[in-house]
Structure 1
Amino acid sequence: MIPTRLFDAIDYQQLNFSKKDMLVHKSNGHWQSHSTLEVGEAALKMAAGLHNLGISARDYTAEGADKVAIISENRPEWIISDLAVQQVGAVLVPIYPTTPPEELFYIFKEAEIKMVLISSPLLFNKYQAVLRELPSIQYIYSFDQTDNPLWSEIQLMADQDAINRVQEIKAGITGDHLATIIYTSGTTGQPKGVMLSHSNILSCAMLAKESFPFPDNPTLRALSFLPLNHIFEKCISYVYMFSGISIYFAEGMEKIGENIKEIKPHIFMTVPRLLEKVFEKINKTGQQLQGTQKKVFNWSIRIAERYDNQKWHSPLYKTKLRLAQILVFSKWQAALGGEILYIITGGAACPQRLLRIFNAACIPVYEGYGPTENSPVIAVNRHVNNENYIGTVGPVIDGLEFKLEEDGEICVKGPTVMQGYYKQPTLTAETVIDGWLHTGDIGTLIEGSFLKITDRKKELFKTSGGKYVAPQPIENKLKELDIVEQAIIVGAEQKYVGALIVPNAEGLKDWATQNNLPYNTLEQAIALPEIKKLFKDHIQKINQTLSSTEQIKKHMLLTKPWSIDAGELTPKLSVRRKVVLEKYKDAIARLFN
């Protein structure tokens, strides 16, 4: 069969590689599997129950279709609910469990949510006051026991007449039908509802599957922990389903390490911040070693930092790298289950140093790129033919038209481009012009085919001397040092560039301990002359690689990390620049006095 809708994944998998472990999660301390057949039956019964509750598409327009919101961590119920909602022609509106209540109110009011699926008492307690204020909400069901009816009761409402009706509805759903509205929190302004059709997401999944490529292999296991609310993980889940790859859901961010050791995954998706946390933990363990072991560990890191698969390395370097892999990096591989074939990172720029270290350690990490508006993949490094170029996001995936505007803005055209922004036709017209999606990202091509992202168009700023500065590459350089947690470059309409830096408390504590310096609190530590010199030296080293306009002349160390709860980070851990600039406007002003 040739799939044309997302829910075709069930029949496709059943036909080509029916599995006992399509979806797997941990319950009461044991991993429990859901077969392809079980998932298909559960989704169909839920769809029939939804139909009997009056959840439908009606006139098959974005405004006419009923909206079902889901607020949940990753679990089988998430995927089954998604497949069920699709089959009645309704539209799923996924919400990050970390979304602030006031933002959720805005989204639910605009989308006129009719039904809410929520996972736990904790999340229901967080949002119940907001949910009660919204007149459009008719039903609330939960996955776990709350004051609301359980989601399993929806399946119990199914009868044969409703099942037959769902089959008729499914037959009338085409690839152009709206599948989901994903609200992007973005780094500025109110959330925008990105409308994605079945064809948008399915095309992206299939093009990414062919380009990377992902093999059809029902023996492979993928670990899922990035929120399914984000289009990156949602799209890749369909890649898994259409490839026959089993999806194991992590118990939570705090148990990823434990779950990796248990299931020994072959694949997982991540964001750079999580990779940074993994390396910080590895490095902390290494710095606690003594004598020769510690020297070998640090020597191995230095060897790995020089790794570049695109360049020739001497036989001596290759010998040293092989020795480092045997003595040190083999232990890292074991900690990640020992069977990793590929890790794909996206959502933000990944520090090159980190990519070099992991790839040198035979832990293959491939960086990709794409906005929600493109469903999302535009480019990804590939695990074949040496098409992994560290420092780039790889070649544009097959099947997309691609161009760079005169100012370097990345534009793409193809079946993956969104239908538009929900209820925002003017913004849609400004973003998609003659079929071309204008991403707002600035890039360049390396060696003719590898795309390198240099910055966000809206984040470029001009100094008082009239010179443009791209902050993101400078911020990435700052964050390559283990003692830097977060950083933001400032200097719009100023004579020079400045930086706000949030130190990494753990990394700084380790450095202080190694150098026999006192460390009680972060506030006390950053007042020490030695610590001040450490950051100054790091910045001077970076400045040597920058133009005179880009060089950081002044910086300020902050003691409170930016967070999602405080509104300074998006759910995918990107800095909300506008929020940070406003909150720290007094501190920024002092940088330029």
Structure 2
Amino acid sequence: MTQLLTPVDALLHWTQEHPERVYLRQPIAGEFQERTWAMVADETARIAAGLQAQGLERGDKVAILAKNSAEWFIIDLAITMAGCVSVPIYSTANADTVRYILEHSESKLIVVGKLDNPDAQAKGIPEGIARMAMPYPTIESEHQWSDWLKQYEPLAEPAQWQEQDIMTLIYTSGSTGEPKGAEVSFGAYRAGSLGWMEVFQPTKEDRAISYLPLAHITERVLLQGVSLYNGGVVVSFVESLDTFADNLQSVQPTMFLSVPRLWARFQQAVFEKLPPKKLHFLLKVPVIGGLIRKKIRTNLGLHHARLLGCGSAPVAPALLEWYRDKLGLNIAQAWGMTENMAYGTVNLPYRADKYDTIGKASPGVELKISDEGELLMRSEAMMTGYYKHPELNDEFFSDGWMHTGDKGSIDADGYVKIIGRVKESFKTTKGKYVAPVPIEQKLAENSMVEQVCVCGQALTQPIALVVLADELHHHSQEQIVNSLTRTVKEVNSQIESHARIAHVLVVDQQWSIENGLLTPTLKIRRPQIEKHYDALIHQQHSQLVDFERDDNWGR
């Protein structure tokens, strides 16, 4: 595939090789509508012709604001085919973020699709930017997808590109400050996609489901890029959040990548039907244990999965251990960033003894630890730089090495552990630094804990803010206090005295993208969380486990 530079080159190649093979499956009203490679190529060429008909010139930016769908793949390909640069925006972005990205990127047109809050987000689209709507209820637009398919003949001559040309601007999720646009070249995108192909070894029998945001580099490379350059993986989509479980069960993917929060929710769903102690007992019973294990995997939609992955945010090793030991599901951790095409490390081929690492360097990736303990990397799959921010590039790149911002360690076998972010460590009034991530991972081993943030700047001892899993509302306050108390005492016995947790504060509100406490990739936003709970953090607490409001737990 090295001769195929762009995703459009790959699309046209596979359309020649097997035009009638199914590529994309979009559920509509509960039924999957299938598109073959030939159908995808035809639709792409017609939409590309529509883009050119709007007077867009080579290099103009076209934004995409939509949830994942077959049309998302197609518009992304059409933008490249038409000679433009795509600018994806998270479907959950608020109006201010939408406006910032559109203005910063100087986008000339925005394509809108499935959205949860179209009316609110529409306020972020400046006047003068044309709108085109995918065939779903969405933001009011002057151009319609279905009209373009009828109105325009397929574009005869796709735009030609060089390796160094910019294919897309991927705006980082902005855990600190405004989002930054990473310039992704065609060469870097192809390198990341081919690298993951070498790791995954996909075949024509593989099935994947696209639900992680395509505006993020992970889904864009690991699923979209791999499926395009490989030409064999069939990609299905999710109709809505309500149908996610049914869609997943229907597809029964062979390749499934997710984030820690969703793996934890899957576990909670299992516990809702079979409490941990009962499940543990039944799984040990010969024959019955095997049947239960198979039924759980099937109900999750993962019985045929040959490849399972977890990334995007720190995960509690105990959660991965539970899946491996109880369900026989080996979840490989992986690590990457927007700036390196999400292509860095992975625990594949899977090694059970390295389950608590993020794996080792992927093919073609070099890693090292700086004198300051920062993980540095380099490969062909790296961004060109930050759009309109050349001053940041000198900080980010040094002698060809990329500064990841992650503190890490590399063992004798080359496997990597992330200790935390370089800038996340805080100093207590005792004058000693505390790295919060390892402590958070230990606390999250309690299945009651869905979200956790350890903080302690200017405090005598660190404290932990905790959001409990939704499924716990039938538990009494006493049960919750006893469980969290045991966990805190166990964690404190394993860490140095200055880092021990003084209090766990159970907060009422779920942290979400919508309330600004999570990034679109579900990482916690520490500065925002600490600011939001500043008064609570600095209150006097006499109990080891305390609640933001006790009256929420009178059950």
2:21 aligned with 1:20, yes or no?
Answer: yes
Gaps in structure 1 of 5+ consecutive residues: 58-64, 288-293, 302-319, 518-524
Q: 1:311-390 residue pairs with structure 2 within 5 A?
A: 325-337=289-301, 338-360=303-325, 361-383=327-349, 386=351, 389-390=354-355
| Matched AA of 2:185 | S
Tell me by how many angstroms 1:184 deviates: 1.3
- Contact residue 554 and residue 591 of structure 1 kept, 8 A: no
* Counterpart position of 2:54: 53
Match of 1:299 in 2: 281
Q: What is aligned with 1:435?
A: 400
Please state whether the residue corresponding to 1:299 is helix, strand or coil.
helix
- What are the equivalent positions in structure 2 for 1:71-86 lying under 5 Å apart? 71-86=65-80
- SS of structure 2 residue aligned to 1:130: coil
TM-score calculated relative to the size of structure 1: 0.85
1:268 shift after superposition: 1.7
Cα 1:152–1:435 shift into 2, 3 Å? farther
CA distance in 2, matches of 1:552, 1:480: 15
- Secondary structure at the residue paired with 2:274? helix
Aligned ranges for residues 488-567 of structure 1 at < 5 Å? 488-507=453-472, 509-510=473-474, 512=475, 517=476, 525=477, 528=478, 531-567=480-516
User: Does 2:202 correspond to 1:221?
Assistant: no
Letter in 1 for 2:171: Y
Match of 1:233 in 2: 219
Matched, 1:405 2:406: no
Displacement of 1:188 after TM fit?
1.3
* Offset, 1:19: 5.0
Q: Distance in 2 between matches of 1:253 and 1:343?
A: 21
Indicate conservation of the 8 Å contact 1:442/1:454, yes or no: yes
CA gap 1:56/1:143 in 2 versus in 1, 3 angstroms: farther
Paired position in structure 2 for 1:183:
171
Letter in 2 for 1:365: I
Is 2:302 aligned against 1:280?
A: no
SS at match of 2:499: coil
Contact 1:19-1:218 at 8 Å conserved across structures: no
Equivalent position to 2:105, from 99, 108, 111: 111
8 Å Cα contact 2:446/2:484 also seen in 1: no
2:136 alignment counterpart:
144
Name the TM-score, length of structure 2 as normaliser.
0.91
Deviation at 1:253, TM superposition (A): 3.0
Percent identity of paired positions between Structure 1 and Structure 2: 29
- Counting only pairs closer than 5 Å after superposition, residues 441-480 of structure 1 correspond to structure 2 as 441-480=406-445
Q: Which moved more, 1:566-575 or 1:491-500?
A: 491-500
The RMSD of aligned alpha carbons is 2.2
Alignment match of 1:256 (pick from 238, 244, 247): 244
Structure 2 residue 195 is the aligned partner of structure 1 residue 246 = no
The answer to whether the 8 A contact 2:21-2:37 is kept is yes
> 2:333 is aligned with what amino acid?
E
- Preserved contact between residue 464 and residue 504 of structure 2 (Cα < 8 Å): yes
Shift of 1:116: 0.8
Task: Report the alpha carbon displacement of residue 505 of structure 1 after superposing the two structures with TM.
Answer: 4.0
Distance across 2 between alignment mates of 1:144 and 1:555 = 44
Task: Report if the CA contact (8 A) 1:118-1:143 is conserved.
Answer: no
In structure 2, C-alpha distance between the alignment counterparts of 1:349 and 1:468, rounded to whole Å: 20
Judge conservation of contact 2:93–2:121 (CA < 8 Å) in 1. no
Q: CA deviation at 1:159?
A: 4.4
Equivalent position SS for 1:566: coil
- Offset at residue 15 of structure 1 (A): 4.8
CA distance in 1, matches of 2:94, 2:267: 30
Shift of 1:586: 1.1
Partner Cα distance (1:228, 1:185) in 2 = 13
How far apart, CA to CA, are the structure 2 residues paired with 1:300 and 1:465? 48
User: Structure 1 CA distance, aligned partners of 2:289 and 2:228?
Assistant: 34
- C-alpha deviation, 1:416, in angstroms: 1.0
Shift of 1:456: 0.8
Whether the 8 Å contact between 2:71 and 2:134 is mirrored in structure 1 is no
Could you say which residue in structure 2 is the equivalent of 1:7?
A: 8
Match of 2:95 among 73, 83, 101: 101
Report if aligned partners of 1:500, 1:555 keep a CA contact under 8 Å in 2: yes
Instruction: Assess, with a 3 A threshold, how the Cα gap between structure 1 residues 403 and 16 changes in structure 2: closer, same or farther.
Output: farther
CA pair 326-145 structure 1, distance change in 2 beyond 3 A: closer
Check conservation: 1:115, 1:137, Cα contact below 8 A: yes
Q: Which amino acid aligns with 2:221?
A: C
**2:194 counterpart residue number:** 206
- Distance in 1 between the 2:288 and 2:490 partners? 27
Counterpart-to-counterpart distance in 2, 1:122 and 1:485: 23
- 1:578 correspondence with 2:509: no
Q: Counterparts in 2 of 1:118-157, with a 5 A limit?
A: 118-120=112-114, 123-131=117-125, 134-144=126-136, 147-148=140-141, 149-157=143-151
Aligned pairs, how many? 535
Say if 1:442 and 1:455, in contact at 8 Å, map to a contact too: yes
